[in-house]
Amino acid sequence: MSEPGQATRRGNFLGAIGAGALVLGFCGLLLWHDPGLFWNDDYEISILPVFADVARSWSEGHLPLLSPYSWVCGNLAGEYQYGTFSLFVNAAVVLIWKFPLPFAGQAAALSMAHLFVLAAGAFLLARGRCLTTPLATMVALVAALNGWIICWGATDWFGALGAFAWLPWAWWGMERALDPARTKWRFLWPAPFVYLLVTGGFPYTVLMLALLAVWLAVKSLGESRRLSSLWPLALGLALGFGLSAPAWLALLDYVHGSARREQANAGAHWQWLVPPAALPGFLWPAWTARWADFLTRPVPRPAVELACGSVPPLALLAGLIFLRRPFVRRMKWELGLLVVVLLLAMLPSANVFRWSFRWLPLLHLLLALVAAEALAQFRLSAVWRWFFVAVVFGSFLITYLLLPTNNGVPKYHFGPSLTDPQPLDPARLYLSVYPPPENAYRVKNHPEPVGQVMRPGSTSMWAGVRLLNGYSPIRGAGVGRAFAFSTHGEIDLGMADYLLGYEAGPKGLLKTIGVDGILVDRKSALAPKPASEWTLAHDEAEGRVYHRVGGALPRVRSATSSPNEKRAQARVILLGSSRAKIVAAVDVPAGRDPALLFFSQPYFDGYRATIKGQRVAVGSYHGLFPTIELPPGTHGRLVMTYNPWWLIIGGTAAAISLLVILISGICGLRSRAQ
């Protein structure tokens, strides 16, 4: 549907900016009430420390594909939720980290930037449907400030916000692509927004995009009766997915064989469903119902995730009661999709898509659009429409001032000193043994500052300290699976007891990997053995730090012979080391025995190596770290780089898609000028 003639592009642009500014003002009021509003749970132990490392990586001149500061969470591109290939996410991170903001301030700035984008896109989507400026502003407020976005996306699971911020834009672009009144170049509209959505870092939002695309295609076929009407939509989606190919190919490669794919916790698919008893929460967010939480236990709690500003459900009911058939006939497609999304939010999930209440952001957006259409048909004056905007704004403000927005998820006391590596040694590789942080270190149970010694989750990235541990829902690295690490970075205590008791010696697995430091929580009685191999380097209330005797182990070293296999001892001099590249001078003695080199970094499929320009095979030690076998007499400059297949193929697909977009865009501009 084409925009009304009186709505100029400048007016729509200014209106979108105004809607985004209104959302920023709203967030400013919430921050004035609670400066730590956006600073919770995953944002603390995962998102923010990783983004600190992303900013560091760009400052070093490297694409943040890998991180040297965590083995479990070392493949940032494969983890997907960090938006490695999103230009917007990376630009926002680099810019925000230029300012001396505290941790909570960095989180707030990052979330608010995406909330601004979300509000602006929702405004344009509504204006594209011929809704007035006040009603479009109401849609923008509901899309950006609804209960799920504020309580989860903006304050905990940033990847959800990073991707959903672009869903209204993609929807707007797809509707333009299906508008036959536009030029043949209309297929370009959805492509950039599909790219930004897919690279934003949340598979659930990609699923929402797929549902929307199918719905729009069916709707277009139902109205035009012509299959040819779909080609602009199909081509626009193809270009968008082509641009984002490195992101989704990296995820598919990383998930294959990961701990997330192997785990079979069927109970997770019954957690966080929208219970029927909670539906009155759309009108009254304080309404209490029993929700199945992360432990699959029914817990009474307010339905704050359903907060939508009160006006939309009332407007929908008014449309159904007073406008009846004309309203239903006009909005039958949107009403049908609304019912489908509501059912999806209430039904158990499948496969890796768990916690069905994650459909709620799309449900809120749909509800706002349908409600705005109902209010438009009542032919109210502009004063009344702006009044409804004020009611929505005030309803959200009262809701978040009176009801908790962190939904009982952990909050940690992390201080600014975590950017300092002391008392740890950046040259060493540590294994940290700590209890589940969501229970042991949450402020409620541990009000004192935490993290200077134990570094839970991925917090080691703040100071650039190397740990095996890391926050990873996927746990695709070999060490994540082999050592039974949990999502929040803690290691299974039985595994920790085995490793420290039997594999910490001079010939044990930990030394083979390159671990030369052990961190143990104060409440644990574990200590690395034998005592002659380790020294207590630091002891305080939070925990103990053990260092292997003899200094830090080299990053690249020649393996010693074993009873079953004779190996030559190569002379190795490390010349350079970066995130995705290691350069070393190697000299293998002449004779009969080959040398085997160990690289103290996590193994991922995609390492390539050459020596004096000749290709050599890269293997792995039980999937834990890279290895290279060199024949006797080999000497020269060895270069090992990370260059996986998905980056080559995905980069090629992205380049071709970008070239098609640029050429088509130039042709479209010339055609328009003529």
Residue 469 has pLDDT above 90, yes or no: yes
Residue 563 has pLDDT above 80, yes or no: no
* The pLDDT of residue 660: 95
Mean pLDDT of the chain: 92
In angstroms, what CA-CA distances link 321 with 139, 385, 550?
Answer: 21, 20, 80
What's the rounded mean pLDDT across residues 208-218? Answer: 96
In angstroms, what CA-CA distances link 536 with 112, 134, 519, 532, 601?
Answer: 44, 66, 10, 11, 25
215: number of Cβ within 10 Å: 18
Q: How far apart are CA 162 and CA 562, in angstroms?
A: 50
Residue 667 has pLDDT above 70, yes or no: yes
Vertex 145: Cα angle to 143 and 147 (nearest 5): 100
Residues linked to residue 572 through DSSP beta bridges, in sequence order? 586
Place of tokens 């898609």: 657
The pLDDT-based confidence of 195 (bands split at 50, 70, 90) is very high
What's the rounded mean pLDDT across residues 542-553? Answer: 94
Place of tokens 């671990």: 515
* The pLDDT of residue 261: 55
Question: Order of strands across the sheet with 614-616?
Answer: 571-578, 581-587, 635-642, 607-611, 614-616
When mean pLDDT is compared across 390-399, 471-480, 638-647, the lowest value belongs to 471-480
Which tokens in the block code for residue 532? 């002659």
Going by C-alpha positions, the residue among 392, 356, 155 that lies closest to residue 271 is: 356
End-to-end Cα spacing for the chain: 24
Q: How far apart are CA 186 and CA 180, in angstroms?
A: 9
Residue 517 has pLDDT above 90, yes or no: yes
Residue 102 has pLDDT above 50, yes or no: yes
Where helices occur in 403-477 by DSSP H, the ranges are 437-440, 460-463
The pLDDT-based confidence of 5 (bands split at 50, 70, 90) is low
Whether omega for the bond prior to residue 180 falls within 30 degrees of 0, making it cis, is: no
Q: What percentage of the chain carries pLDDT values higher than 70?
A: 97
Q: How far apart are CA 503 and CA 512, in angstroms?
A: 9
In this structure, the strands spanning 619-620 and 626-630 are: antiparallel
* The pLDDT of residue 181: 87
Q: How far apart are CA 551 and CA 535, in angstroms?
A: 11
257: number of Cβ within 10 Å: 13
Residue 264 has pLDDT above 70, yes or no: no
Could you tell me the pTM of the whole model? 0.95
Cβ(106)–Cβ(48) under 8 Å? yes
Q: How far apart are CA 436 and CA 492, in angstroms?
A: 9
59-63 contacts: CB < 8 A, separation 24 or more? 60/578, 60/579, 62/578, 62/579, 62/580, 63/580
List pLDDT tens digits, range 566-606: 898 999 999 999 999 999 999 999 988 899 999 999 999 99
- What residue type is 314 in one-letter code? L
Which tokens in the block code for residue 291? 């929700």
The pLDDT-based confidence of 177 (bands split at 50, 70, 90) is very high
The pLDDT-based confidence of 224 (bands split at 50, 70, 90) is confident
Cβ(497)–Cβ(481) under 8 Å? no
Place of tokens 């290709």: 615
Going by C-alpha positions, the residue among 159, 158, 79, 200 that lies closest to residue 472 is: 79
The pLDDT-based confidence of 199 (bands split at 50, 70, 90) is very high
* The pLDDT of residue 1: 46
Vertex 264: Cα angle to 624 and 340 (nearest 5): 125
Residue 8 has pLDDT above 80, yes or no: no
What's the rounded mean pLDDT across residues 381-394? Answer: 95
Whether omega for the bond prior to residue 134 falls within 30 degrees of 0, making it cis, is: no
Q: Does 564 or 511 have the greater pLDDT score?
A: 511
What's the rounded mean pLDDT across residues 522-535? Answer: 93
Cβ(274)–Cβ(299) under 8 Å? no
List pLDDT tens digits, range 275-330: 999 999 999 999 999 999 888 889 999 999 999 999 999 999 999 999 999 999 99
Q: How far apart are CA 328 and CA 432, in angstroms?
A: 59
Cβ(403)–Cβ(304) under 8 Å? yes
Residue 562 has pLDDT above 80, yes or no: no
Cβ(50)–Cβ(81) under 8 Å? no
* The pLDDT of residue 144: 97
Which tokens in the block code for residue 197? 């959505």
* The pLDDT of residue 267: 72
